[in-house]
Structure 1
Amino acid sequence: MECNGLFSFLVVIKEAFQILPKNGKLMALVTIFSLLLTEITFAAFGFSIIGLAQDMASAAKSLVPDPSSFDPTSFDPSKLQDQLRHIQQIVAILYAVEIAFILVFLVISFITTMATILVAAVSRVGNTLSIKNLFSRVAGTWKKPFLTSIYAAIQALGLLAVPGIFAVPVFMYPNVVTVLIAVLFAAVVFLIFYLYLMVIWELAIVVSVLEEGCYGMVAMGKASELVKGQRLKGYMLNLSFLLLSLILFAIYQVIYRLKGPSSAIICGLFLVGFSYLVKILQVVAYTVLYFHCKKQHGEMPEIDIGVAKYELLPKTYT
């Protein structure tokens, strides 16, 4: 029985789970490959941060002399400058490691998203896709979803201006109650708008990957038109995946506080892996939602898979 209203998104999630076993070897290859790269990146980042943090703590401790053995006559200002310079170098390396980790993670996530959309789209109608065609399609299509992602990021940055509206009453009535109310309303309004617009952003990425010559603002406009009548499904999808992500983050924070950084890294590897599986499910779910939107508008999706062009119709057997 099909769900209606707020629970209509469960139909999409159910279809997403049904799609995963189709083209199972290819989907498993994409999942395992991206998961291993992500785990290796996370582990390298975690242990690098711990090492740099320990070096910084040691360098900072050396700045404070022992009062019992401190001799003002032997104080050398040049040594203090060297120690400060060393701390600055550690901080610079720390920022470089963080930026490198973010970039590597984004690249892995971007390529995985493209590959997952392609495999899910073909699996949705029972067709097959070879590894060669998959990599060929990803290599030849990445510019379109990349440009669409940039437009989505720009819109997301513009959305950050929304909380600024609630800063006015804080300046007019600067007290604890006003600040708490303003922060609460700003967070709620921002979250509502973010989840609302994220439906278009996620669907636009799917459109950019699957539809020829459709990217950037064109893909945004296409996604906005397609999602009419299906926006509630997308909104509830985003809300459910957001809640799941917050639960995972809360678990990680509890373990970090109880067990310390080293244990948190080991647990973090499991949580990152699980989060990545959730991300793949979300991408598959949005691919399913794309087909729902197409069906509602009476359109027949097509996808160009490098060698041949397959019309996404269900197989018929004689």
Structure 2
Amino acid sequence: MANEVLSSPAITLPRASTDGSAPRPGVVGTIREAIELLARNPKLMIQTMLLIFSPFSFLVLLHYVLAGPLMEKVEDGYERSELDPCDLRSFVGIESVFLLSSSIIFFLGMLLIVYGSAVIYNNKSISLKQLVSRIKFTWKKPFITWFFVCILAILYWALALVIVRWVNLYVWSWTAGILAVSLYLFLAALWSLGLVVSVLEDDVSGPKAFLRALKLMRCKKMEAFRLMSMLELMSIPIYIVFYVTSADDDDKLGIVAQFAFGAAATLLFCTAKFFSFMVFTVFYYECRRNHGEKIDLELGQGYKMVPTVAQ
């Protein structure tokens, strides 16, 4: 079976996460552990990133070619109070298609990142082809959890905005906003861990994945909150660049320059989000160790059809 594996040589670094000793404590240790995953099998991680970012770059190019001129037309019509409803409907339709396409690519990228991180974390080797084959067998269960996360996030922010607007006093509105963001950071940590659970464990998806994640986070709730808070703080500059680039309609820039800035901002934004899933994959195993559970690679029936070897 070993000669069938098309795996890339991996660099094994000293670590305390699979040898039975205590893991690095705290948020910083978890993030450092996730960063080290990149160095243990750089070839697999680079191949995975290129596979994910290639369709993203193509979508960005199509967006600037197809939606860019229509966006300028809609903005000009709005400023002149001569907005054509047909242009607006076309723009909304195109944006909806691009949003759906990017969401699907992002979901598949999340699966690749979590699977790849789990394989490397457990000191096993797998090729990119085998990693992609894994998705063919197991994408439905994580998709259910992903769907729940999207719905819950939309409902949460809609409710939070309504509550904040109901608060009349300026000081209290800021307080309500801070509380809403703080609660969201905890929920985002729970949802992220639930996604990792639905990817790596059998027969767990949707609400069951969140309950399983909540159980794993027992005694580590504040650490999960601090972890998500630090990841978001680290990502704020990237979010600002992404927003400014997406909202910029400077006609002085050529199509090539606009595409370059948009592609770079999109890749940075996706890198930040994918890295958070690497961090929560590490956090998942730390939570399991904290509960005294056996630490081993558990990728279900689909994974059994994909041969791997220990490094």
RMSD between aligned alpha carbons? Answer: 3.0
Q: Structure 1 102/308 Cα, relative in aligned 2: closer, same or farther at 3 Å?
A: closer
Q: Structure 1 281/53 Cα, relative in aligned 2: closer, same or farther at 3 Å?
A: closer
Shift of 1:229: 2.1
Task: Give SS of 2:124's match.
Answer: coil
Deviation per CA, 1:225-282, whole angstroms, max 9, x where unpaired? Answer: 0011222332222212222332123345566889826455432321221222222221
Shift of 1:296: 0.4
Query: Does residue 303 in structure 1 map to residue 276 in structure 2?
Result: no
Task: Give the alignment partner of residue 143 of structure 2, picking from 143, 146, 154.
Answer: 146
Shift of 1:30: 1.3
Contact 1:133 1:306 in 2 (8 A): no
Contact 2:242 2:266 in 1 (8 A): no
TM-score, normalised by the number of residues in structure 1: 0.78
Task: Give the alignment partner of residue 192 of structure 1, picking from 182, 205, 223.
Answer: 182
- Decide which structure has the larger Cα Rg and report it: 1
Task: Give SS of 2:40's match.
Answer: coil
Query: Does residue 201 in structure 1 map to residue 201 in structure 2?
Result: no
Task: Give SS of 2:204's match.
Answer: coil
Deviation per CA, 1:129-166, whole angstroms, max 9, x where unpaired? Answer: 13343222211111111111222233323423244344
Q: Structure 1 280/167 Cα, relative in aligned 2: closer, same or farther at 3 Å?
A: closer
Correspondence for 2:265: 271
Query: Does residue 93 in structure 1 map to residue 79 in structure 2?
Result: no
Letter in 1 for 2:232: L
Letter in 2 for 1:291: Y
Contact 2:216 2:291 in 1 (8 A): yes
> 1 CA distance for matches of 2:70 and 2:248?
22
Equivalenced residues, count: 281
Contact 1:166 1:183 in 2 (8 A): yes
Structure 1 residue runs without a partner (length 5+):
65-83, 171-177
Task: Give SS of 2:299's match.
Answer: strand
> 2 CA distance for matches of 1:166 and 1:59?
32
TM-score, normalised by the number of residues in structure 2: 0.79
Task: Give the alignment partner of residue 51 of structure 2, picking from 6, 27, 33.
Answer: 33
Correspondence for 2:68: 50
Query: Does residue 104 in structure 1 map to residue 101 in structure 2?
Result: yes
Within a 5 Å distance, the mapping from 1:1-318 to structure 2 comes to 8-56=26-74, 87-160=84-157, 161-170=159-168, 178=169, 180-252=170-242, 260=250, 262=253, 263=257, 265-300=259-294, 301=296, 302-304=298-300, 305-307=303-305
Contact 1:208 1:214 in 2 (8 A): yes
> 1 CA distance for matches of 2:194 and 2:178?
25
Correspondence for 1:175: none
Q: Structure 1 209/257 Cα, relative in aligned 2: closer, same or farther at 3 Å?
A: closer
Contact 1:136 1:306 in 2 (8 A): no
> 1 CA distance for matches of 2:65 and 2:278?
32
Letter in 2 for 1:106: S
Q: Structure 1 277/62 Cα, relative in aligned 2: closer, same or farther at 3 Å?
A: closer
Task: Give SS of 1:21's match.
Answer: helix
Q: Structure 1 269/233 Cα, relative in aligned 2: closer, same or farther at 3 Å?
A: same
Structure 2 residue runs without a partner (length 5+):
1-15, 17-22
Worse-matched range after superposition: 91-100 or 301-310: 301-310
